[in-house]
């Protein structure tokens, strides 16, 4: 089966790179302010963004850039999946929720104490209803993600899939999102470990 990376977004070091080129840069070193700068740059009105924790804002921002100009490429959203991984799960928000329990436990924080909520936020934003899995791995394991994605397509679990990495803990953050599809559109990069690595560099 031929699969293609049709879009790729890397967010790290105050920079958003889309398909290998810089799409946005900011001088904000604080993670929350940097993510807010992305939101302002995108000029979208999406009130849910302001309720999200930093991990979810990061995933939301990466998905916005990833799916720009390509949304119509999802023929069938019921078979469009999303599989992400990270290292720190939701630990940043876990700490903040535990702090809140000293006074009044915050339900608004508690809901973000699961790493897969970022999948849910992206699915809500883009109407994706397919496969959903969140893995916790010590680093972005490109080979594993590549092989697992191939298996997803081969078993017809998905027709299109967002895969990647969404990591955030305190001031550290990094996102690497790829859109994988069966037809050669957008970036038109064959879906190989090498190509994933090159885009991640």
Partner 1 sequence: MKRICIHSTNVLSALGKTTSENFASVLNGDTGITRQEDGSFSSIIPPEILDEIAFSNPFTAYSRFEKMAIHSIKEALQASEIRMDDPRTIFILSTTKGNIDLLKTEGNVYPSDLSLHATAEKITLYFQAENRPLVVSTACISGLMALIVGQRLIRSGKYDHAVVCGVDLVSDFVTSGFRSFLALSDRQCKPFDATRNGINLGEAAATVILSNDKNLTENSDNIMLGEGASSNDANHISGPSRTGEELSLAIKNVLRKSKIKPEEIGFISAHGTATIYNDEMEAKAFQLSNITQSPVNSLKGYFGHTLGAAGLLETIISAEALKNDLVLPTMGWEVSGVSVPLKLSREVTYQPMRHFIKTSSGFGGCNAAMIFSKQN
Burial class for 101, CB neighbours closer than 10 Å (0-12, 13-18, 19+): exposed
**Alpha helix stretches (DSSP H) within the chain:** 31-42, 48-51, 54-67, 91-100, 107-110, 117-126, 142-154, 193-200
Task: Identify the CA nearest to 149 among candidates 88, 85, 63.
Answer: 85
Query: Would you call 8 helix, strand, or coil by DSSP?
Result: strand
Q: Which is nearer to partner 1, 22 or 104 (CB)?
A: 104
CB of 48 to partner 1, least distance (A): 9
The C-alpha atoms of residue 114 and residue 188 are separated, in whole angstroms, by 34
CB of 34 to partner 1, least distance (A): 22
CB of 59 to partner 1, least distance (A): 11
Q: Which is nearer to partner 1, 36 or 87 (CB)?
A: 87
CB of 175 to partner 1, least distance (A): 18
CB of 109 to partner 1, least distance (A): 9
- Tokens representing residue 99 in the block: 């702090």
Task: Name the residues that contact partner 1, by CB under 8 A.
Answer: 77-78, 82, 87-89, 91, 94-95, 97-99, 101-102, 104-107, 110-111, 113-117, 119-121, 123-124, 126-138, 144, 147-148, 150-152, 155-157, 169
- Tokens representing residue 80 in the block: 């469009």
The C-alpha atoms of residue 52 and residue 73 are separated, in whole angstroms, by 27
CB of 197 to partner 1, least distance (A): 19
Burial class for 125, CB neighbours closer than 10 Å (0-12, 13-18, 19+): middle
Q: Which is nearer to partner 1, 89 or 184 (CB)?
A: 89
Q: Which is nearer to partner 1, 75 or 98 (CB)?
A: 98
Q: Which is nearer to partner 1, 162 or 187 (CB)?
A: 162
Q: Which is nearer to partner 1, 68 or 88 (CB)?
A: 88
Query: Would you call 136 helix, strand, or coil by DSSP?
Result: strand
């Amino acid at each position: 089966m031929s699969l293609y990376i049709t879009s790729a977004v890397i967010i790290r070091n105050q920079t958003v790179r889309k398909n290998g080129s810089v799409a946005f840069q900011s001088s904000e070193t604080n993670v929350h302010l940097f993510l807010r700068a992305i939101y302002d740059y995108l000029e979208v009105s999406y009130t849910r963004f302001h309720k999200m924790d930093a991990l979810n804002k990061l995933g939301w921002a990466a998905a916005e850039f990833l799916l720009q100009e390509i949304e119509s490429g999802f023929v069938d959203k019921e078979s469009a999946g999303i599989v992400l991984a990270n290292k720190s799960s939701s630990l940043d928000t876990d700490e903040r929720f535990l702090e809140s329990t000293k006074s009044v436990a915050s339900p608004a924080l508690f809901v973000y104490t699961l790493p897969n909520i970022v999948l849910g936020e992206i699915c809500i934003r883009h109407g994706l209803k397919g496969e959903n899995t969140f893995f916790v791995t010590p680093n972005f394991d490109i080979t594993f993600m590549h092989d697992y994605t191939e298996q997803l397509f081969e078993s017809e679990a998905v027709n299109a899939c967002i895969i990647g990495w969404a990591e955030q803990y305190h001031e550290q953050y990094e996102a690497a999102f790829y859109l994988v599809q069966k037809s050669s559109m957008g970036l038109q990069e064959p879906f190989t470990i090498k190509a994933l690595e090159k885009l991640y560099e």
